[in-house]
Amino acid sequence: MEPADIGVKDADKHDDGTLTGEDAAGAGPGAPTLGQVLLAVEELWPESLAENWDEVGLVAGHPSAPVAKVMFAVDPTLTVIEEAIEWGAELLITHHPLLLKGVTSVAATTAKGQAIHRLIESGTALLTVHTNGDSAVGGVSDVLADALGLEGVVPLTAAANGLPEEGIGRVGDLADVMSLGDFAARVFGILPSVAGGVRVSGDKDGLVRRIAVCGGAGDSLFSEVRANNADVYVTADLRHHPASEAREAAVNGRPYLIDVSHFASEWLWLPAAASALGNVLADQGHDVEIQVSTTNSDPWDFILTPG
């Protein structure tokens, strides 16, 4: 997959991360502040859509700082942060939070502390768009459903504070009936290549049409998948016991299960998100260059299989 580039403006940062003098002028009169970018992000992925356990929003950065370059990524790993800094991004937007659980220190003696130090010292802001990016229209599962060719798509579970079309997961129908084997091949074909590949549970020749999807870990939604009469459920991080229990509870073998990489299932959203943000900022008269990280942050490097 190639990174997405939007816009034409570029700017160099001083050591303290600020843009002044000729550099600020180079960013162009249409370069927004971080605060203005945050307003555009809120328009697309409202924080009110985030699950109550989640931590989304601005992690590091000054709202008055100018932003000429934005990078999107799945994970705020040190490698991703260094990529963003090297490219000159003033803002890194990641799907996964850096600080999901409470901390009492951000000393650079830990990986998370190092991440915070690198961000602040380089003048690079960090913003998290997590379950609000899952739930919103055009979010993670919408993009996955669209890539698989689903029609008549609706949420698997409605958002508590959103529109009827917002919520976690999606379910819809294929234009034509397919075998599970052929559909699994379609899933494999749309995702970035990762070591874990795609795992399938079910009759390879079984026919499927109604498809449920949830980007990221979705093993909490089996009841909703069954209630929507899905023939197959595509999600990530399926653990042994939930998957085994789902198979035991299956009716006529359904729903079949397709387990994909957490990273890969959510990476698909990044180019769409970059394009959406670029369009909103352009409509507001701002010039920003937006790029998708090229770092594969899937944690697995290789896999051994029988045969």
* 55 marked as part of a ligand binding site: no
Residue 96 annotated as lining a ligand binding site: yes
CB 291 within 8 A of CB 236: no
Please state, in angstroms and as integers, the Cα–Cα distance from residue 126 to each residue in 34, 117, 205, following that order.
10, 12, 46
> Per DSSP, what are the bridge partners of residue 292?
72
Task: Tell the residue number behind the tokens 């985030």, with chain if given.
Answer: 50
Rounded CA-CA distance 117/103 in Å is 15
Q: Is 38 exposed, middle or buried (0-12, 13-18, 19+ CB in 10 A)?
A: buried
Tell me if 19 sits within 8 A of 27, measured CB to CB: yes
Residues 6+ apart with CB under 8 A from 28: 9, 68, 287
- CA dist 124 and 68 (Å) reads 11
Q: Which two tokens stand for residue 255?
A: 């729903």
**Residue 134 assigned to a binding site:** yes
Q: Is 62 annotated as a binding residue?
A: no
DSSP string, 191-203: SPP-TT--EEES-
> Distance from CA of residue 86 to its chain's centroid?
22
286 is known to lie in a ligand binding site? no
Task: Please state the residue numbers annotated as binding site for a divalent metal cation.
Answer: 95-96, 134, 262, 266
Known binding residues: 95-96, 134, 262, 266
